[in-house]
Amino acid sequence: MKAPRMIDISIVSGVFLGFGGVLLAYLGNPANSGICVSCFVENVAGALQLHDNMRMSYLRPELMGFVLGSFLFALVTGRFRVRGGSSPLLRFFMGFFIIVGCAVFIGCPIKMFLRLAAGDLTAVAATLGLIFGIWVGVRYIKGGFVLGGEKEMPRLQGFVVPLFAVVLLMSLLLDLSFIRLGQKGPAAMHAPLPVSLLMAMVIGALAQRSGLCVTGGIRNYILAREKTLLNGLLTAFFVAVVFSLVLGQFSLGMNAQPASHLSHGWTFLAMALVGLGSILIDGCPFRQLIKAGQGDVDAGVATLGMLIGGALVYVWFIGSSSGGPTFQGKIAVLVGLIFSIGAAMAYRKRGGNGP
Amino acid sequence: MDWLDRLSVAAIGTFVLVTVGMLANQEILKRRRHNPGSEAKEAGGSYALQMGADKKIYEAVNALKEQGLYAEAIAKLEGIVESYPDKSLSYVYLAEVLDKQGKLGDAIHTYRRAVEMDPDYVDERTPVFIGDDIKAAVEEGREKFGREKGLKPDDEDVKRALGDVYYLQRRLAGGCE
């Protein structure tokens, strides 16, 4: 009886993720970016003045909603467990490089699905790259890769990220002086705050319960032919396709797609980096937020790495534009792949010897 | 709880109160000084100021354009580009003149340059939005160069023009960029 119930909750999570992703874009978020963890992390970094691109500076309530939805649900259901201490620095840098990969593609794995669901065929190369990266990660897992070292931590540490989310949310609601909100470009495009927050909290709670994760779903299938999370992802995709069609957000093709480019090779490599990095730290950017909310201190460290990544992709001109990836972006992807593969090799247990 | 714990809790409580008090005070002062809509007015004022200055710089170009003296207008614009290399508006004017001359590919390429320099040209929220003009040129270009690509699939100029058309289409479509 237990397995069918897990499948159900995974599918319900998928329904909300797909529906929410399209609805929030329809209600005002940038096109195809109803939910995009990497874009939103970049926005938050700008709002905190970690970069100076005003067009990308806004405190996206969706991010706070994911964390707080997960946190509250975990707390109420007794699933709030504070653990950590597993290679925090490596997770920090992996979080950073995952955002680098997302910035070169222009979107996180969830946005990749939403772009595909809206008919954006440039996301096909991204999907193939992500699957390839996950497949490589699974090879390393089968070859003995394990970060390990995770242990119980003082309970207080589990509250740090949710508390940070509350502070950010209050800063947005009270419009505090140290927050900078852009008045044009994507920063000025947002769905009504209560809708964004509520939808994100529901998705966060459901994802906490189901463990929904883009890379995790594909990994489980490649590793053990286990389809629970994959079914949730496929549900999210098909629900997004249906609502994109219903709400007039669907446009099939490659050339006129919002925030996209035609450098498919770099898209493939960038998302391969995201796939591999996410497998090594056990979760896509969305999953890191959910885990940080449920008391996973390591995921909190990865989230901080993502935030710094969200700032530096602008400061160092790593992010792509409609014109394609920048030189810096290409180099950053290559460095990220070197880092990820190096880490995967270093943490392999060979013949019983740990890293 | 021993004396050190009690002292720590008291210190934390005090600091929290002082911090909240200071923040609230600062926000109250800010709101008293704040004139509703002042930020928008400020931004609008900055645009208006810029547009006023631009009007002077491009006065001669406008006059030449209206008289149909396109070659002279282009020569004048080239001079302005040299004097003010960061002024994206020069490229908007240049694109308009090139379009009038029937050089659609060059016009689209020049629009691209303007948008790369200042994305506000395709942002409806700004007073410098010229998305409709760009869209018209792009639609025309898509049809023209799409047709030409069928006839000359290896022509580099056609490829470049189509690349510019697609770039502007993506920018006009919006998105998180």
Provide the CB-side half-sphere exposure for A151 (13 A, CA). 5
When computed from its CA atoms, the radius of gyration of chain A, rounded to whole angstroms, is 19
pLDDT at residue A164 tops 80: yes
Q: Tell whether B114 and B156 lie within a shared domain.
A: yes
Q: Tell whether B88 and B17 lie within a shared domain.
A: no
pLDDT at residue A4 tops 60: no
* Confidence band, pLDDT 50/70/90 cuts, at residue B37: low
Task: Inspect the interface and report whether the beta carbons of A177 and B27 lie closer than 8 Å.
Answer: yes
B118–chain A Cβ distance below 8 A for any pair: no
Q: What are the φ/ψ torsions at residue B33 (nearest 5 degrees)?
A: -75, -25
Q: Tell whether B157 and B70 lie within a shared domain.
A: yes
Size of interface A-B (CB pairs under 8 A): 79
In a domain, B64, yes or no: yes
Q: Tell whether B82 and B154 lie within a shared domain.
A: yes
Q: How far is A141 from chain B (nearest CA, A)?
A: 34
Distance CA A171, CA A158 (A): 21
* Confidence band, pLDDT 50/70/90 cuts, at residue A143: very high
DSSP summary character for residue A54: G
pLDDT, chain B, mean = 89
Q: Tell whether B17 and B52 lie within a shared domain.
A: no
Residue A177 is predicted with a pLDDT of 81
- Comparing CA positions, the residue from A79, A95, A118, A100 lying closest to residue A208 is A79
Residue B79 is predicted with a pLDDT of 94
pLDDT digits (tens, 9 = 90+) for A175-219: 888 899 999 999 999 999 999 999 999 999 999 999 999 999 999
| Contact list, A184 vs chain B (CB under 8 Å) | 120, 123, 125-126
pLDDT at residue A6 tops 80: no
In a domain, B61, yes or no: yes
**Identity of the residue in A39, A177, A184 whose CB atom sits nearest the CB atom of B123:** A184
pLDDT digits (tens, 9 = 90+) for A116-131: 999 999 999 999 999 9
Q: Tell whether B60 and B119 lie within a shared domain.
A: yes
In a domain, B67, yes or no: yes
Comparing alpha-carbon positions, the chain B residue that sits nearest to A120 is B170
| Contact list, A31 vs chain B (CB under 8 Å) | 173-176
B23–chain A Cβ distance below 8 A for any pair: yes
Task: Inspect the interface and report whether the beta carbons of B169 and A256 lie closer than 8 Å.
Answer: yes
Give me the percent of chain B exceeding a pLDDT of 70. Answer: 93
Q: Tell whether B147 and B77 lie within a shared domain.
A: yes
In a domain, B81, yes or no: yes
Q: Tell whether B5 and B73 lie within a shared domain.
A: no
Distance CA A27, CA B35 (A): 29
Provide the CB-side half-sphere exposure for A30 (13 A, CA). 33
Q: Which of A89-93, A171-175, A234-238, B53-57 has the lowest mean pLDDT?
A: B53-57
Whichever domain contains B142, its CATH number is 1.25.40.10
Q: Tell whether B133 and B101 lie within a shared domain.
A: yes
pLDDT, chain A, mean = 94
pLDDT at residue B152 tops 80: yes
Q: Quote the number of domains for chain B.
A: 2
Residue A31 is predicted with a pLDDT of 93
In a domain, B92, yes or no: yes
Mean pLDDT of A64-85: 97
The beta-strand segments (E) located in chain A are 83-84, 151-152
pLDDT digits (tens, 9 = 90+) for B123-135: 988 889 999 999 9
ipTM: 0.81
The rounded Cα A76 to chain-centroid distance in angstroms is 24
Residue A290 is predicted with a pLDDT of 98
Q: Tell whether B28 and B87 lie within a shared domain.
A: no
In a domain, B7, yes or no: yes
In a domain, B86, yes or no: yes
Comparing alpha-carbon positions, the chain A residue that sits nearest to B127 is A184
Give the tokens for residue A232.
């949730």
User: CB neighbours (10 Å) of residue A110?
Assistant: 28
| Contact list, B123 vs chain A (CB under 8 Å) | 184-185
Q: How far is residue B74 from each of residues A89, B61, B68, B80, measured CA to CA in Å?
A: 56, 8, 11, 10
B31–chain A Cβ distance below 8 A for any pair: no
Residue pointed to by tokens 């005003």: A54
Residue A283 is predicted with a pLDDT of 97
Q: Which domain holds residue B13?
A: 1-34
| Contact list, B120 vs chain A (CB under 8 Å) | 184
- Give the dihedral sign, CA A95/A98/A104/A106: negative
Mean pLDDT of A145-173: 94
Q: How far is residue A287 from each of residues A155, A209, A216, B105, measured CA to CA in Å?
A: 21, 12, 9, 46
In a domain, B47, yes or no: yes
Q: Tell whether B68 and B27 lie within a shared domain.
A: no
pLDDT at residue A308 tops 80: yes
| Contact list, A321 vs chain B (CB under 8 Å) | 116, 177
pLDDT digits (tens, 9 = 90+) for A256-284: 899 999 999 999 999 999 999 999 999 99
Q: Tell whether B49 and B119 lie within a shared domain.
A: yes
Residue A175 is predicted with a pLDDT of 84
Residue pointed to by tokens 């990820």: A340
pLDDT digits (tens, 9 = 90+) for A9-37: 999 999 999 999 999 999 999 999 999 99
**Identity of the residue in B27, B116, B176 whose CB atom sits nearest the CB atom of A259:** B176
pLDDT digits (tens, 9 = 90+) for A38-60: 999 999 999 999 999 999 999 99
Residues whose CB is less than 8 angstroms from the CB of residue B177 and which lie 6 or more positions away in sequence, other chains included: A106, A185, A186, A258, A259, A321, A322, B119, B171
